[in-house]
């Protein structure tokens, strides 16, 4: 009886995850098909999180220094590029991130700091995961750039790429460390970041959900065998 209950719970959780993820991605697909994007040339919001990882070999102060240095480097780089009407460095909390996602005057968002495939660590010990992001953007237009300047490995079972439901063109406008765990000091190096998806097929809802389920099952097996 216990095994049956566990199997039922596992299936129910899996089905719920699939429903939520598919809904978020299909809403973004609808926006792309209908041209619902923010205007080009708006502001770029760079969020620099003060959250630290206590498991890191680096002190909290050292981690924050790398994050701040990276944010300043990105502000200078994108200010010189001229693709945005201005560049702001902000401290992330759920309200600030939600406002930036809903603001049509913000064309791009870069999240600097500790992260994983489907999550971004905020100041004060909070998290802003893929569901929070997809819910926050709501009916607003998709962004012209989303970059996650931190790790991109899967650390929870129910996970999809954090910025996929937020960006107009997932192939050219969503940049990450591409499924990798990277040292904290490596977030300053542009070579560690690039397009998350190889092509449109790779970024399709069907492929993303299939990969998410494969990754979910592998993650649960590893967790069970620990």
pLDDT tens readout for residues 138-148:
999 999 999 99
- Secondary structure of 28-70 in HEC code, one letter for each residue: HHHHHHCCCECCCCCEEEEEECCCCCCCCCCCHHHHHHHHHHH
pLDDT at residue 225, as a whole number: 65
Eight-class DSSP state of 141: P
Residue 120, burial from CB neighbour count under 10 angstroms (0-12, 13-18, 19+): buried
Q: Is the pLDDT of residue 137 over 90?
A: yes
**Per-residue pLDDT tens over the stretch 81-115:** 989 999 999 999 999 999 999 999 999 999 999 99
Task: Tell me the pLDDT band of 208, cut-offs 50, 70 and 90.
Answer: very high
**Per-residue pLDDT tens over the stretch 13-62:** 899 999 999 999 999 999 999 999 999 999 999 999 999 998 888 899 99
Task: Tell me the pLDDT band of 224, cut-offs 50, 70 and 90.
Answer: low
pLDDT at residue 24, as a whole number: 98
Let me know if residue 24 belongs to a domain.
Answer: no
Q: 117 lies in which domain range? A: 33-225
Q: How many CA atoms lie within 13 A of 186 on its CB side?
A: 13
Q: Is the pLDDT of residue 7 over 80?
A: no
pLDDT higher for 164 or 156?
A: 164
pLDDT at residue 46, as a whole number: 98
Q: Which residue from 135, 142, 148 is spatially nearest to 106, judged by alpha carbons?
A: 142
Let me know if residue 26 belongs to a domain.
Answer: no
pLDDT higher for 182 or 220?
A: 182
Which position has the token pair 């995961």? 129
Let me know if residue 6 belongs to a domain.
Answer: no
Residue 43's DSSP bridge partners are: 86, 106
**Once rounded to an integer, what is the mean pLDDT over residues 152-160?**
92
CA angle, residues 22, 106, 85, in degrees to nearest 5? 145
* Number of domains comprising the chain: 1
Say how far apart CA 113 and CA 170 lie, in whole Å: 21
């Amino acid at each position: 009886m216990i095994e049956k209950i566990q199997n039922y719970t596992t299936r129910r959780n899996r089905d719920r995850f699939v429903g939520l993820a598919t809904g978020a991605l299909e809403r973004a697909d609808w926006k792309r098909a209908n041209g619902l994007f923010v205007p080009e040339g708006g502001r770029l919001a760079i969020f620099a999180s003060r959250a630290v990882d206590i498991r890191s070999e680096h002190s909290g102060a050292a981690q924050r220094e790398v994050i701040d240095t990276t944010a300043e480097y990105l502000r200078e780089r994108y200010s010189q590029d001229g693709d945005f009407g201005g560049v702001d460095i902000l401290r992330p909390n759920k309200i600030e991130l939600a406002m930036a996602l809903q603001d049509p005057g913000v064309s791009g968002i870069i999240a600097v700091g500790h992260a994983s495939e489907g999550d971004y660590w905020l100041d004060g010990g909070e998290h802003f995961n893929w569901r929070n992001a997809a819910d926050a953007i709501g009916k607003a237009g998709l962004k012209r750039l989303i970059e996650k300047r931190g790790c991109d490995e899967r650390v929870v079972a129910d996970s999809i790429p954090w910025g996929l439901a937020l960006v107009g063109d997932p192939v050219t406008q969503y940049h990450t460390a591409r499924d990798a765990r990277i040292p904290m000091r490596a977030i300053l190096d542009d070579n560690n970041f690039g397009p998350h998806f190889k092509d449109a097929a790779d970024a399709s809802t069907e492929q993303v959900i299939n990969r998410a389920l494969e990754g979910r099952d592998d993650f649960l097996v590893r967790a069970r065998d620990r």
